[in-house]
Structure formats: structure tokens, C-alpha cells
Structure 1
Amino acid sequence: MLRWLRAFLLPTAACQDAEPPTRYETLFRALDRNGDGVVDIGELQQGLQSLGIPLGQDAEEKIFFTGDVNKDGKLDFGEFMKYLKDHEKKMKLAFRSLDKNNDGKIEPSEIVQSLQMLGLNLSEKQAKLILQSIDSDGTMTVDWDEWRDYFLFNPVSDIEEIIRFWKHSTGIDIGDSLTIPDEFTEDEKKSGQWWRQLLAGGVAGAVSRTSTAPLDRLKVMMQVHGSKSMNIFGGFRQMVKEGGIRSLWRGNGTNVIKIAPETAVKFWAYEQYKKLLTEEGQSLGTFERFVSGSMAGVTAQTFIYPMEVLKTRLAVAKTGQYSGIYGCAKKILKHEGFGAFYKGYVPNLLGIIPYAGIDLAVYELLKSYWLDNFAKDSVNPGMAVLLGCGALSSTCGQLASYPLALVRTRMQAQAMAEGAPQLSMVGLFQRIVSKEGVSGLYRGIAPNFMKVLPAVGISYVVYENMKQTLGVSQK
């Protein structure tokens, strides 16, 4: 694409500002396939495709709807030229932010320095891969012409969006709610894209959790009962025998309902903690992101924790024990008091730190490994790599915090057995290790891991379809 643009658009040498209308007009004529003086969305997509610059539907639509100032469904030459001029100004600012020594060229060391300030740690070797995909003359430096031509039809607006290839996607839901919230650019916040992405992620989470609910209920049953004799097949057979096929989804309603309030509180809290930890205009580093994300998780869990208790009680309950979510809540309040809604709260909060920390650390490690060993002509890893990195890092986070999650679940459910001792977190740890061994702290981890791959696949497909339905632009 870069070489085509330099040959086709810049015959008037390196004089960027000498005759910009001529330069823009050459491209406009190439896109105006029927010669009527305007370009519609179909012509833009077909024209870019035929010129060897396919961007994908979302990016092309973003260019078109941003440029179409009068909203008549067409781009005339004036609108087209204004869009490219405005876009070049943004790209000039991004270029200058990377060109630390102001010599008119971007070098690998400047890439490393700039991305470190944004919390993305790259080696110089990795930075060279970034430049290699932009550099057209083989000098391993990028001047303004090369930079402008490369991003001419890429609807990013600043350097932070340029590095969002490694965005840790909100749309991936593996059934746990302890992950660090996603980042949104100022453009996404102003345009309303952020709430559409959160809504798409919420719907994806609901479908994913419902699809894998039988495995989730089996995990809870194995955590609570802690029987060595209960295997996966036997557990399913026992649940179906006791309550029928529908009982496999017991507790799933609460698990789905809590997605909306938890996502909203976590997103709001994350933004507030970011403001507290950074000065105005300062970029968020990895450590600040970890602290902000962990504290946002604590805030959200505090708000919705009663629903976590209800989910566990309903999942473990026998047929007819509770009439539903409201009946379960009413019964707990009447017989155990309000404090019962926060049983297991401490191990739940303690689990957020290892989960969020290891999830983030493993993701960064996998990203760095891919860049070192597999990136060739582009630093864009592709969706399959992103999904794999996200699923594996979240799984490692689950593994590290699983003993705390198991103790939390038992504390939530132990009052259901009449006359049973109400043990503390430490007491439960000691009892599990003494009676079941260390492996007892990992009861139910098999069905927990079994649901990861289908959950990731389902949530991704639903998330992408919901984004299309809601008109979310692809970065």
C-alpha cells in the first residue's frame, strides 16, 4: 500500500504542501468510479479494494461517515479533501510525538521510548519490526512522507490508537469478572462507541455464560461438596437425576443479570481511579493500569457481591429449595440476616490481586514472545493470536486465584447445611488441606478449564456480531 501511494499520489516530489488539491484530486478521481463528481460508500470500498488498499468494512465506513459532513450519503471533492487534510494534521502530531530529537525521522529507539511512556514495553528489535512495516526505502527510519502515506487511509487519530493492535478485548468473557477493564480513547468516549462496546460485551457475556452454564454449575457443586468420588460424568448424571435437564442451568439467571451492574460500576470506578493515579494528560502505565483495574474490581465486587452469594446458593440448592432469585434472597435475609450476603467476601477480594496481576503479566509476556519470534512484516498479530493470548492469560489468572475462589464458594454455601460449623477463611483452608490435601483446593478446576475455549469462541462471535449491529467502528 505504501509504495503504491508514493508512486500514485506523489509525482510532484516531496513537496507536501505545494499543490495539495492536485494530489487529493488524483486520488479522488481514482475512487470516483462512475465519474459523477461524488463518491458513495460502495465506490470508496470498491475503489480502495481495486487500488490494493483494503481496510475492512468498519474502517472504510468510519472514513466515509467522518468525511460526509452534510450527511447526504456521498463525499464530494471538498469533503474528501477536508477529511484528508484534517487527518494529516492528526498524523503530523502523532509523528512529532514519536520524533523525540526533532530530526524529521523516527528511529527504533524513539519507538521504544514513546511506547514505554504509554505502558507498552518493547525491545529495540521489536521496534524495528514496527518501522519495517512502514519504511519504504529500507533505511530503517521513517520520515514524514512515509508515515503520512502509510496512515493516509487508516482512521486512527493519535499514537495511542496506533498501538491498539494489542488491545486486551472486552468482548472475551470466560465466566469470571476479575479482569482489568478495557481502555477507551477520547474519540470513542465522545462518539458513544464506548457504551456500544460495553453493551456488545455484555450481550456476548450473557450468551457465553448461558452456553457454558452446565459446566459452571458442575464446578460449583464440586467446589462445595469436595468429594473425590464426584467426577465430571458422575456429577452431570447426579444433577440430571436430581432435577432434570433444566437443573443444569440453575443459578445462571443471577450470573447473567449481574453482568450489567458489574460492568457499569467497574467502568465508572476504573475511570475515577485512573484520574487519582495520573496527572491530567499523563498516559496510563502498566502499573497504574493494574492498580486502577484491581481497585475497580474491588469496587464492583463490593456492589454486586450479594448476587454472587445468590448464584452459589441457587446452583447448590436442591429442587424446590428456593422459589427463585427473590425467594432465595428473602429466605437468606429472614433466617441468616444481611451479613450472609457477604459471606466469602474477604477471599473474593484477595483473589482479585493475583488474578488481575497474573492475567496482565502473562498477556504482556505472550505478546512480547510473539513479537520476538513470529512478527515479520507487521506488528498486527491477528485476531487468532489475540484470542489465544487473552484466553491463556485469563486461565493463568484463574489458576493462581482458584484456591481463594473455592474457599469463597464454600463460605457462601456452608450455612445451607444445618448444624454445620461456620468456619472462617483460615479455618476452611486448614480443614480442606488436612482432610483433602492440597489438591482439595483445586476441586472443580477441570470443568472450569473445559469451559474456557467454548466461552472464548462463543463470546467472540457474539461480540463481533453485536458490534456490527450496533455500528461500532473497528480499530
Structure 2
Amino acid sequence: MDPFRGLFVKLDQNKDGLISLDELHEEMRKHGILSADGKVQNIINLYDKNKDGLLDYKEFLSYMMDREKKWKIYFNDLDKNKCGVIDQEDIICLFKELGVVISKPNAKKIIQMMDKDSSMTVDWGEFLHHIILNPVDNIGELVLSWKHNLVFDVGESRAMPIEFPEEASGFGAWRTFVLAAGLSDAVSRTVTAPIDRLKTQLQVSGSKTLSRGFQEMRAGGLRSMWQGNAVNVLKGTPQSTLQCLIYAQMKVYTQNRSQETLTVQQRFGLGCISGAVAHAVFYPLEVLKVRLNLQQAGTYQGVTACARSIYRQESLSSFYRGFKPSILCMIPYAGVECAVHQSIMSWARSNPAYNSDSKLFFFSFVAFASGQMSSYPLAVIRTQQQAQAYSSGSQSASGVYSGLIGIYERNGFRGFYNGMGASFVRAVPCALINYTLTTKFESVFSSMES
């Protein structure tokens, strides 16, 4: 009982003999547990017998005893060879049962989260210390919390880096990831579609002000603000998934060969390759999105009509118009974002002072901004070339170099970053929606799988 009494005293920060929701939640954040608000409230609701919104020691002890009894059973299940401890092989076996291939360096990181005596094994006492204030209810949710406390790498085509749930090989694991990430991605793209369309107009026309851009969008009615959103969703989600798959397979291969975590240079290289390949596969849909964004209301009756018009009136090669600056844009963007994102997040998550939702979101935005700044002029060239043969007001940009010169002559240095403000404005709500919904959906689908 003494360890629980000591924990109770530690949690009772104002020394009133009671634990409040805020005190319990603050301690859980120190353990690296994010978005636990609903679960903490549920704990209070279940064990607060006198309904005063607080836990006294007797109520707290009841919660601790239930947790200990429940997780002792789970610990014995995790200990495959029944030696009384959990090691790296047990972690790898657990992930394999869930349809996920995890590299040995990441299995080692999970053990190190719990290992207090540097033995590279976890006994029952260490496991209980790790789990006792984690409000997860089952093994599936525990694995999910491990994945979110490790740093998993990113894909470009969303507005901000996504958290990828490690190298999934089983159908169940991939179904969980694709459903969670795909649904949240579709919602975030749809909500922010008007801002994305405005960004495209500014990239093509350059000299337009924000107000003029909104006026032109408003001329087509409310519905026109979502022109091109369907193809944007159709392109974005599978491209993100493909990029993550390529990156993950290369990552696990590299780590298993070196038996070490990736360096910044390796993350940059893998991000460049995975981003370039996925982008090349889905590039024709990017061209369709730009054409639909720039059309006058009613020009095209849907995605199929737009594709048919390009093929008949231009040529098949038009579906890859602007591909050269686009791929040159993608390579530094994906590489910089991967390298900066994982490096910053690894540092932040190892420091409890920076391990909060708001600060992690800020660090993700820094990574996104770094990728944008490094490649945005090429993105402007790409969009202008995609718009050629359609928008008479756009300037010709037959080559990357001539396109850069033309932008500078017309609009100066500022022209290289036309629409970037709208891109940053879109990124904030887009990332918040992605972060919130992906976590929620993944938790729901993982619980259903369990």
C-alpha cells in the first residue's frame, strides 16, 4: 500500500488530502500522455463515490488496485517465455500479433521507456510504474500510446506532418491507419478547401490581392469555393499513404542493417525518395485539381469531364505539365520536413517541459514552415505551368529557370512567395483537424480491432 500512498501524496499538490481532475491530468502529461482529458474525467466519474468531483485516498486506492489487478494479467500475456520480465523480443512479438512489423531499434526505445535499472528488460514493478498513470484500457491502446511517444515520420501532401503508425504489414493494422488518416485528411481538406483555392489563384495571378481573389471566388457562388476539392481528396489521401509505405519500408530496412536509429541525413534522403515517388504516381490528379480550381463556374462538369477535355484539346503529356519544377519542389520539401520534424519532435518528447499538445503542434508547424520556405518558389512555377493552356491571364513558364526570371521581373522577390500566407493560414486549422481526428479515429478503430 505504501507505494500508492506515496503516489497519492505526490499527486495531491495543494496538500488538501484530495486529488482533483487537474492534478491527475497534469501528472499524466508529465508521463508523456497526450489528449487524456476524456479518460481522466471518466476515472473521476467511476471512482468518485461521493460525487464531489475529487478523489480521496480510499477512492484513489480503489482505482489503483483495479489497475494493478487488470494489468498484471496483461503483463503475464506479454511475457511470452514466462521468465518474469519483458524484453525486446516480447515487444516485437506483440506488434507482430497486431499486424505491425517494428524495427529492433524502436523495440529497444519502448523497453527504455519502462526500464529503470538499465537491464534492457522490464519486470512487473517497472511495468506497473509505467502503466499506473496511463489511462489506456487495453493492450491495443497501450501500443497506440507507445507509437505516439515514439517519433514516426511524415508525408508531404497533407498540410502538416502526419504521425505514421510504424511499418504496418498486416491488413488489420493498415486498415486502421488508412481509415483514421484518410477520414481525418478528407475532412481537413474539405473544411479548408476555399483557402487552398485562394492560394492557387494567388500563385497563378501573382498581383492579385486577397480581397480580389475572394471576389472572384464569390462570383461563382458558395459552391464554387469547393471547386477541385473532390480530386484534391482523391489525390491527397492515397499519396500520403503511399509515401508513408515507401518511407516505412526503406526505414525499417535501413535500421535493421545498421541497428541504429536514423540520422538526420538519412531521414532527409528517405523523405526525398518517398516523396518524389508518391508525387510522380499521383501527379496527373494535381493538374486536374489546379484546372478545376481556376475554372469559371460551370466550365467543367466534374473531374471526368475535366480530364477528357485536357486529353482531347491538348495532349496526354499535359497531365504532366509542370512536373519538372513540381518534383524539384517535392524533393527538398519532403526531405526538409522529415528531417526537421523528427529531429525537433524527438527532442521535444524527451523533455517533459515541452511535451504538451500545444507545444508539439507548434514544433510541427516549424517543420512545415521549413519545408515550405525551402521549396515554395518552385511550387509557384509548378502551379503556373499546370495552369498554362487554360488560364489566359497566367504567364508562360516554359522552363524552371525562365519561370523564376519571369516571376522576378514581374513581381520582384515577393513574387516567389505569392500565396504562401494563405498556405500558412490553411495549415493551422488543417493540422488541428488532422491531429485531433486521426488520434480519435485511430483509437476507435484500434479498440474495435482489439
State the TM-score, normalizing by the size of structure 1. Answer: 0.66
Aligned to 2:415: 440
1:92 paired to 2:85: yes
1:358 paired to 2:336: yes
Report the 3-state secondary structure (helix = DSSP H, G, I; strand = E; otherwise coil) of the residue aligned with 1:349.
helix
One-letter amino acid matched to 2:430? A
After TM superposition, give the deviation of residue 320 of structure 1 in Å: 2.8
Q: How does 1:108-147 map to 2 (within 5 A)?
A: 146-147=125-126
Contact 2:345 2:364 in 1 (8 A): no
Q: CA-to-partner distance for each residue in 1:12-69, whole Å, 9 max, x for gaps?
A: xxxxxxxxxxxxxxxxxxxxxxxxxxxxxx99x95897545599xxxx9xx9xxxxxx
After TM superposition, give the deviation of residue 185 of structure 1 in Å: 5.5
- When the two chains are superposed, the root-mean-square deviation of aligned CA atoms in Å is 4.7
After TM superposition, give the deviation of residue 134 of structure 1 in Å: 7.3
- Between the aligned partners of 1:382 and 1:422, the Cα distance in structure 2 is 45
- Between the aligned partners of 1:401 and 1:386, the Cα distance in structure 2 is 23
After TM superposition, give the deviation of residue 350 of structure 1 in Å: 1.6
Aligned to 2:242: 265
Aligned to 1:240: 218
Q: CA-to-partner distance for each residue in 1:73-107, whole Å, 9 max, x for gaps?
A: xxxx9x9866322324599354799xxxxxxxxxx
- Between the aligned partners of 2:443 and 2:122, the Cα distance in structure 1 is 36
Q: Which range moved further: 421-430 or 382-391?
A: 382-391
After TM superposition, give the deviation of residue 181 of structure 1 in Å: 7.4
Aligned to 1:316: 294
After TM superposition, give the deviation of residue 408 of structure 1 in Å: 0.6
Q: CA-to-partner distance for each residue in 1:277-329, whole Å, 9 max, x for gaps?
A: 45469455144444333322222111110000000011111123222211111
| Aligned-residue identity in percent | 27
Q: For the structure 1 residues 469 and 276, does the alpha-carbon distance in structure 2 shift closer, same or farther, using more than 3 Å as the test?
A: closer
Q: How does 1:27-426 map to 2 (within 5 A)?
A: 50-51=61-62, 53=64, 83-88=74-79, 92-94=85-87, 146-151=125-130, 155=139, 162=146, 164-168=148-152, 175-176=158-159, 182-184=164-166, 189-190=169-170, 192-227=172-207, 230-241=208-219, 243-274=220-251, 277=254, 279=256, 282=259, 285-286=262-263, 287-367=265-345, 370=348, 375=352, 381-417=355-391, 421=396, 423-426=398-401
Q: CA-to-partner distance for each residue in 1:423-454, whole Å, 9 max, x for gaps?
A: 11111111111221111010011111111111
Aligned to 1:428: 403
State the TM-score, normalizing by the size of structure 2. Answer: 0.69
Q: CA-to-partner distance for each residue in 1:376-410, whole Å, 9 max, x for gaps?
A: 6xx9x233333332233113212221111111101
One-letter amino acid matched to 1:329? A
Report the 3-state secondary structure (helix = DSSP H, G, I; strand = E; otherwise coil) of the residue aligned with 2:76.
helix
For structure 2, the 5+ residue unaligned runs are 8-41, 48-58, 91-102
- Between the aligned partners of 1:452 and 1:215, the Cα distance in structure 2 is 10
Contact 1:174 1:208 in 2 (8 A): no
User: After TM superposition, where is structure 1 displaced by more than 6 Å over at least 4 residues in a row?
Assistant: 156-161
Q: Which range moved further: 382-391 or 281-290?
A: 281-290
Contact 1:226 1:440 in 2 (8 A): yes
Report the 3-state secondary structure (helix = DSSP H, G, I; strand = E; otherwise coil) of the residue aligned with 2:389.
helix
One-letter amino acid matched to 2:384? R
After TM superposition, give the deviation of residue 150 of structure 1 in Å: 2.2
Q: For the structure 1 residues 156 and 277, does the alpha-carbon distance in structure 2 shift closer, same or farther, using more than 3 Å as the test?
A: same
Report the 3-state secondary structure (helix = DSSP H, G, I; strand = E; otherwise coil) of the residue aligned with 1:323.
coil
Aligned to 2:56: none
One-letter amino acid matched to 1:360? C
After TM superposition, give the deviation of residue 236 of structure 1 in Å: 0.7
- Between the aligned partners of 1:156 and 1:92, the Cα distance in structure 2 is 20
Aligned to 2:37: none
For structure 1, the 5+ residue unaligned runs are 8-41, 64-76, 98-114, 122-129
One-letter amino acid matched to 2:332? P
- Between the aligned partners of 1:450 and 1:335, the Cα distance in structure 2 is 36
Q: Which range moved further: 253-262 or 86-95?
A: 86-95
Larger radius of gyration: 1
1:466 paired to 2:444: no
Q: For the structure 1 residues 250 and 120, does the alpha-carbon distance in structure 2 shift closer, same or farther, using more than 3 Å as the test?
A: farther
Aligned to 1:453: 428
- Between the aligned partners of 1:143 and 1:470, the Cα distance in structure 2 is 28
- Between the aligned partners of 2:228 and 2:300, the Cα distance in structure 1 is 11
Contact 1:265 1:300 in 2 (8 A): yes
- Between the aligned partners of 2:381 and 2:447, the Cα distance in structure 1 is 40
> When the two structures are aligned, how many residues end up with a matched partner?
383
Aligned to 2:4: 4
Report the 3-state secondary structure (helix = DSSP H, G, I; strand = E; otherwise coil) of the residue aligned with 1:416.
coil
One-letter amino acid matched to 2:437? V
Q: CA-to-partner distance for each residue in 1:327-357, whole Å, 9 max, x for gaps?
A: 1111111122111111111222222232223
